[in-house]
């Protein structure tokens, strides 16, 4: 069942819905975007608190909306559902069983979903995001209350800018979510990582000796903001996906000075170009890993035009070790993409990406075990599955284990494993931000087989039966519970 008022027209509409539901608090005293907002947000997130609207930041010209996705309840509200599993169920119901297994199946499956629910973006001629226009010397990023989140950060960062690029040869659009370091009043550092599609677009532009047009939208409606973070195959348009989630088409408008389109109802849009070959030091930055990422050279966006709504609201996010606001985003991806992962790897019953593993360091997977070394087969399949390939630790359990019950998973992983036989060690790609790997971009991985072992796997002792109370006694105690006076 869709949330009241869904789909939301824009960020302000979503904030109003949160406030009606008691999920938004306004902070009407002056608060500093340098460190102070970060500390307030971090305490709020860890207390399970509401979304926040800082109405009087001491830097910048607009209020700051933050912690919008910090709980699964608010994330479900953002996507217009009661439970995040509803969207995965919708996708699963639309995917046809005759689709091929594997990565081609995921692409074809998503493509069929989008065709069945034809929701391509719709172009409009005028848009709220262009009500106010700044160009030339009037462009000043200091109008935005960008955050310095941690003391060791290299400066002010804009942490929820939706970055739009096009492949210079094919024209294929990409929407991504990357941090943006403010270098000056009109330049930004583009921290797009090695595995990202925009990195590939920039590489082609540089090979051709061309400038790459870029448009950044800040403060979009919550579905578009989520879609920018979703790990979609490169040939699935993020705005088609957002339209499917919204149940209606996303309105887009042509930028004023670059050949790109942006969401018509964004709060703020930055338009500009990357010059081929130009790099500036970017960082350090306190990231979602809980550690500072080092200074590295990254491309520089020269912002030539800035447009806004009248009375815009600035959207950002705080990054830190878990728990933090990105928990809701990560859980949404886990639940939405479950049927697609199962299409690719049919052996999977369910999976969980623990927030403490920042959603890509660990995966807990349950399978219906049918043959020797089945768990190891699934491990290797996951390490070959798009961005799941970055997973460092995979724990495989039997189908009767609830992968979301970490106590039960730990019981299986600690007790069901002979680490001389049931531990698979390998090497492969890791996340750009991973600090533990001895070499950047690749490192060691482990798979733990916590399933029951079969005689055909060399276990000849006879796997013991796990203890369970008889149903009759459970029923008896249920009936007499009040008599015990406990």
Q: What is the CATH number of the domain that holds 51?
A: 2.30.110.10
Does any domain span residue 104?
Answer: no
Let me know whether 427 and 304 are in one domain.
no
Let me know whether 132 and 95 are in one domain.
yes
Q: Which two tokens stand for residue 170?
A: 């094919």
pLDDT of 97 > 70? The answer is: no
| Total Cβ atoms within 10 A of residue 170 | 10
Does any domain span residue 479?
Answer: no
Could you tell me if 288 and 328 are in contact, meaning their C-beta atoms sit under 8 angstroms apart?
no
Let me know whether 302 and 199 are in one domain.
yes
Let me know whether 157 and 271 are in one domain.
yes
Does any domain span residue 315?
Answer: yes
Could you give the number of structural domains in the chain? 2
Pick the closest to residue 174 from 255, 228, 244, 223 (CA basis): 228
Does any domain span residue 485?
Answer: no
Which residues, other chains included, contact 289 with Cβ-Cβ below 8 Å and sequence gap of 6+? 321, 358, 433, 434, 435
Let me know whether 161 and 199 are in one domain.
yes
Provide the pLDDT for residue 462.
Answer: 93
Mean pLDDT of 147-175: 96
Burial of 30: CB neighbours in 10 Å, binned 0-12, 13-18, 19+: exposed
Provide the pLDDT for residue 110.
Answer: 60
Pairwise CA distance, residues 189 & 302, whole Å? 9
Q: Which of 298, 319, 337 is the last residue of a domain?
A: 337
Does any domain span residue 481?
Answer: no
Assign residue 373 the CATH number of its domain: 3.40.1670.10
Mean pLDDT of 98-110: 55
Give the model's confidence band at 117: pLDDT under 50 very low, under 70 low, under 90 confident, else very high: low
Mean pLDDT of 235-244: 88
β-bridge mates for residue 64, sequence order: 54, 314
Does any domain span residue 240?
Answer: yes
Give the model's confidence band at 95: pLDDT under 50 very low, under 70 low, under 90 confident, else very high: low
Pick the closest to residue 83 from 378, 319, 335, 288 (CA basis): 335
Does any domain span residue 480?
Answer: no
Give the model's confidence band at 91: pLDDT under 50 very low, under 70 low, under 90 confident, else very high: confident
pTM score, two decimals? 0.91
Mean pLDDT of 214-225: 98
Mean pLDDT of the chain: 92
Mean pLDDT of 270-281: 97
Mean pLDDT of 385-397: 90
pLDDT of 2 > 70? The answer is: no
Q: Kindly report which listed range (30-39, 113-122, 237-246) carries the lowest average pLDDT score.
A: 113-122
To the query of whether residue 352 is one of the catalytic residues in this protein, the response is: no
Pairwise CA distance, residues 179 & 413, whole Å? 36
Mean pLDDT of 36-50: 96
* Cα four-point dihedral sign 198, 316, 264, 182: negative
pLDDT digits (tens, 9 = 90+) for 439-482: 988 999 999 999 999 999 999 999 999 999 999 999 999 999 99
Instruction: Give the CA dihedral 325, 329, 330, 336, nearest 10 degrees.
Output: 160
Provide the pLDDT for residue 5.
Answer: 72
Let me know whether 329 and 358 are in one domain.
no
Provide the pLDDT for residue 432.
Answer: 82
Provide the pLDDT for residue 42.
Answer: 95
For residue 359, give its domain range: 345-472
Pick the closest to residue 261 from 190, 165, 170 (CA basis): 165
Exposed e or buried b per residue across 370-408, where buried means at least 16 C-beta atoms within 10 angstroms of its C-beta: eeeebbbebbebbbebbbbebbbebbbbbeebebeeeee
HEC profile for the chain?
CCCCCCCCCCHHHHHHHHHHCCCEEEECCCECCECHHHHHHHHHHHCCCCEEEECCECCCCCCEEECCCCCHHHHHHHCCCCCCHHHHHHHHHHCCCCCCCCHHHHHHHHHHHHHHCCCCCEEECCCHHHCEEEEHHHCCHHHCCCEECCCCCCCCEEEEEEEEEECCCCCCEEEEEEEEEECCCCEEEECCCCCCHHHHHHHHHHHCCCCEEEEEEECCCHHHHHHCCCCCCCCCCHHHHHHHHHCCCCEEEECCCCCCEEECCCCEEEEEEECCCCCEEECCEECCCCCEECCEEECEEEEEEEEECCCCCEECCCCCCCCCCHHHHHHHHHHHCHHHHHHHCCCEEEEECCHHHCCCCEEEEEECCCCCCHHHHHHHHHCCCHHHHHCCEEEEEECCCCCCCHHHHHHHHHHCCCCCCCEEEEEEECCCCCCCCCECCEEEEEEEECCCCCHHHCCCCCCCCCCCCCHHHHHHHHHHHHHHCC
Which one of 10, 153, 221, 287 is the catalytic residue?
Answer: 287
Provide the pLDDT for residue 114.
Answer: 56
The proportion of the chain whose per-residue pLDDT surpasses 90, expressed as a percent, equals 78
Residue given tokens 């955050």 in the structure block: 147
pLDDT of 116 > 50? The answer is: no
β-bridge mates for residue 429, sequence order: 442
Mean pLDDT of 430-440: 86
Q: Which of 318, 337, 356 is the last residue of a domain?
A: 337
pLDDT digits (tens, 9 = 90+) for 59-89: 999 999 999 999 999 999 999 999 999 998 8
Provide the pLDDT for residue 232.
Answer: 83
Given strand 64-66, what is the order of strands in its sheet? 24-27, 51-54, 64-66, 314-315
Q: Which two tokens stand for residue 201?
A: 């677009």
Q: Which of 276, 305, 337 is the last residue of a domain?
A: 337
Let me know whether 209 and 247 are in one domain.
yes
Let me know whether 311 and 389 are in one domain.
no
pLDDT of 104 > 80? The answer is: no
In whole angstroms, what separates CA 483 from the centre of its chain? 50
Let me know whether 64 and 182 are in one domain.
yes
Q: Kindly report which listed range (103-107, 144-148, 242-246) carries the lowest average pLDDT score.
A: 103-107
pLDDT of 9 > 90? The answer is: yes
Could you tell me if 133 and 310 are in contact, meaning their C-beta atoms sit under 8 angstroms apart?
no
Does any domain span residue 263?
Answer: yes
pLDDT digits (tens, 9 = 90+) for 187-217: 999 998 777 788 899 999 999 999 999 999 9
Let me know whether 263 and 223 are in one domain.
yes
Let me know whether 304 and 353 are in one domain.
no
The proportion of the chain whose per-residue pLDDT surpasses 70, expressed as a percent, equals 94
Provide the pLDDT for residue 133.
Answer: 98
Angle between helices 103-116 and 238-246 (to 10 degrees): 50
Let me know whether 302 and 369 are in one domain.
no
Alpha-carbon distances of 327 from 44, 158, 345, rounded to whole Å: 14, 19, 25
């Amino acid at each position: 069942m869709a949330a009241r008022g869904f789909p939301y027209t824009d960020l302000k509409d979503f904030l109003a819905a949160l406030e009606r539901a008691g999920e938004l608090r306004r902070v009407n005293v002056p608060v500093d975007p340098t460190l102070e907002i970060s500390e307030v947000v971090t305490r709020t997130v860890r207390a399970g608190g509401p979304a926040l609207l800082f109405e009087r930041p001491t830097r910048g010209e607009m209020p700051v909306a933050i912690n919008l996705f910090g709980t699964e309840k608010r994330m479900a509200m953002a996507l217009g559902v009661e439970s995040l599993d509803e969207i995965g169920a919708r996708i699963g119901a639309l995917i046809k069983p005759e689709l091929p297994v594997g990565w081609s199946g995921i692409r074809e499956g998503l493509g069929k979903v989008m065709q069945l629910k034809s929701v391509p973006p719709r172009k409009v001629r005028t848009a709220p995001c262009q009500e106010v226009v700044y160009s030339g010397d009037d462009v000043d990023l200091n109008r935005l209350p960008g955050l310095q989140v941690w003391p060791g950060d290299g400066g002010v960062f804009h942490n929820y800018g939706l970055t739009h690029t096009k492949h210079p040869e094919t024209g294929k659009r990409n929407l991504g979510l990357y941090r943006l370091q403010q270098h000056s009043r009109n330049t930004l550092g583009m921290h797009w990582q090695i595995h990202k599609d925009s990195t590939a677009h920039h590489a082609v532009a540089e090979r051709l000796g061309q400038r790459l047009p870029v448009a950044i939208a800040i403060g979009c409606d919550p579905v578009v903001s989520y879609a920018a973070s979703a790990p979609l195959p490169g040939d699935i348009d993020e705005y088609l996906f957002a339209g499917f989630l919204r149940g209606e088409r996303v309105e887009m408008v042509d930028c004023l000075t670059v050949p790109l389109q942006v969401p018509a109802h964004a709060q703020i849009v930055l338009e500009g170009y990357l010059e081929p070959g130009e790099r500036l030091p970017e960082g350090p930055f306190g990231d979602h890993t809980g550690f500072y990422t080092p200074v590295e050279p990254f491309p520089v966006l020269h912002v030539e035009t800035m447009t806004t709504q009248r009375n815009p609201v600035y959207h950002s996010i705080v990054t830190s070790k878990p728990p933090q606001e990105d928990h809701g985003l990560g859980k949404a991806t886990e639940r939405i993409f479950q049927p697609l992962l199962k299409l690719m790897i049919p052996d999977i019953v369910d999976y969980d990406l623990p927030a403490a593993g920042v959603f890509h360091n660990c995966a807990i997977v349950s399978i219906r075990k049918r043959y020797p070394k089945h768990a190891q087969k699934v491990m290797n399949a996951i390490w070959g599955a798009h961005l799941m390939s970055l997973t460092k630790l995979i724990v495989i359990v039997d189908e009767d284990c609830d992968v979301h019950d970490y106590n039960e998973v730990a019981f299986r992983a600690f007790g069901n494993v002979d680490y001389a036989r049931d531990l698979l060690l390998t090497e492969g790609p890791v996340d750009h931000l991973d600090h533990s790997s001895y070499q950047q971009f690749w490192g060691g991985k482990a798979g733990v087989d916590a399933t029951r072992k079969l005689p055909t796997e060399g276990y000849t002792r006879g796997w013991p039966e796990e203890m369970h109370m008889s149903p009759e006694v459970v029923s008896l105690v249920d009936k007499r519970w009040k008599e015990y006076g406990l």
